[in-house]
């Protein structure tokens, strides 16, 4: 496996026409330009053997914004315990504690920690008899397996605190967004929220149900952190990028805009005879952008507020 990653890096290294362009210095741009099939074929040529092909990996069936949270049984009869990491930030003390718990409660010699795409963690290879005690211990260090749904699916990039490409702070803003949504807006189906500090999209805001892309804005006569809000991004059988719904929302108001939109989603979504609820991305596709903007409006902010602020600045 290390050989595959090394050769993929070399393919990017050799693409001088992209590598030296600051705005396109990402492997994703090479894939977009040449096509994933070319990248796969070139990787096989360099490796000297053919990889196993599975076309469903490109567009996996039923790929909603879910994660392996809570308790689940593995194929080998052991169990995993998944715990949500709030906005993807974990302390050193928590990391050391989770490592100790994985060793203590995992099957002998097989205790492992794995990380998910949603910045959460899983302790795997846990015997059934250890699951309850492990879950209790994880809760004791602030990482309960039964956390609210928002905590499972809200992610954040590093932001301006540690990244010189970011134009806004993200981790603290994500904390405020998460606390507001957990307190004010209960959900019963996954809704992925991505808080991203710049257009480079390390937190993949374009494929989130609700994506926040950082941008400085004028608010109350001052330049402050703000966000453009995209909605409706998803993977799966019909993958699509989110559409930009509202621009230049001041950071301190963004959680209320999200709360208003999700509240109207809950009030107007389709629920079938079996109780299955309409996914947020499907709800977005079913409504015009103008209607969604109305539902996202709050007294302090509407879609026209940004233009008004700029005219007054």
- Residue 22 is predicted with a pLDDT of 64
Segment 40-49 mean pLDDT: 93
Geometric angle at alpha carbon 244, from 241 and 249, rounded to 5°: 135
Pair (207, 228) in one structural domain: yes
What's residue 80's pLDDT? 96
pTM for the whole structure = 0.81
**Average pLDDT value for the chain:** 88
Percent of the chain surpassing pLDDT 70? 90
Tell which wins on pLDDT, 105 or 4.
105
Sheet holding 222-231, edge to edge: 154-156, 193-196, 210-219, 222-231, 243-250
- State whether 285 and 224 are in the same domain: yes
Q: Which residues contact 188 (CB under 8 A, 6 or more apart)?
A: 149, 277
* Residue 8 predicted with pLDDT over 70: yes
Q: Answer yes or no: is 62 within a domain.
A: no
Q: Is 58 within a domain?
A: no
User: What is each CA distance from 71 to 88, 102, 130, 147, in whole angstroms?
Assistant: 20, 14, 11, 12
User: Under 8 Å CB-to-CB from 269, ≥6 apart: which residues?
Assistant: 277, 278, 283
CA distance 279 to 188: 10
Residue 13 and residue 124 share a domain: no
- The predicted structure's pLDDT at residue 150: 93
Q: Is there a single domain that holds both residue 264 and residue 189?
A: yes
The predicted pLDDT at position 56 comes to 65
Which SS3 state, helix, strand or coil, does residue 59 take? coil
Q: What is the pLDDT of residue 310?
A: 45
Same domain, 127 and 187: no
Residues 164 and 289 in one domain: yes
Tell me, yes or no, whether 93 lies in a domain: yes
Residues 161 and 243 in one domain: yes
Residues 215 and 249 in one domain: yes
Find the domain containing 291 and state its range. 151-312
- Residue 38 lies inside a defined structural domain of this protein: yes
pLDDT at 313: 45
Residue 178 clears pLDDT 50, i.e. is over it: yes
What total of structural domains would you count in the chain?
3
Last residue of a domain, one of 119, 146, 173: 146
Closest by CA to 155, choosing from 196, 127, 115, is 196
């Amino acid at each position: 496996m290390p050989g595959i990653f090394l050769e993929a890096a070399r393919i990017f290294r050799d693409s001088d026409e992209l590598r030296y362009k600051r705005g396109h210095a990402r492997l994703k741009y090479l894939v977009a330009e040449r096509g994933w099939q070319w990248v796969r074929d070139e990787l096989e040529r360099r490796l000297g053997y053919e990889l196993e092909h599975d076309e469903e990996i490109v567009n996996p069936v039923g790929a909603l914004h879910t994660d392996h949270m809570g308790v689940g049984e593995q194929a080998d009869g052991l169990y995993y315990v998944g715990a949500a990491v709030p906005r993807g930030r974990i302390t050193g003390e928590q990391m050391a504690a989770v490592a100790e718990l994985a060793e203590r409660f995992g099957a002998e010699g097989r205790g492992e920690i794995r990380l998910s795409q949603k910045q959460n963690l899983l302790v795997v290879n846990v015997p059934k008899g250890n699951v309850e005690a492990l879950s209790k211990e994880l809760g004791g260090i602030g990482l309960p397996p039964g956390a609210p749904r928002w905590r499972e699916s809200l992610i954040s990039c590093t932001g301006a605190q540690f990244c010189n490409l970011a134009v806004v702070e993200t981790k603290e803003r994500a904390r405020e967004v998460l606390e507001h949504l957990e307190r004010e807006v209960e959900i019963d189906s996954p809704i992925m929220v991505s808080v991203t500090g710049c257009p480079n999209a390390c937190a993949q805001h374009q494929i989130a149900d609700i994506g926040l892309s950082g941008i400085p804005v004028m608010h109350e006569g001052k330049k402050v952190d703000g966000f453009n809000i995209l909605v409706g991004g998803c993977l799966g059988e019909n993958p699509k990028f989110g559409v930009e719904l509202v621009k230049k929302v001041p950071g301190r108001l963004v959680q209320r805009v999200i709360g208003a939109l999700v509240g109207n989603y809950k009030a107007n979504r389709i629920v079938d005879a079996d109780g299955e609820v309409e996914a947020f991305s499907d709800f977005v596709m079913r409504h015009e952008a103008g209607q969604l903007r109305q539902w996202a409006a709050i007294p302090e902010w509407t879609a026209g507020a940004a233009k008004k602020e700029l005219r007054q600045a």
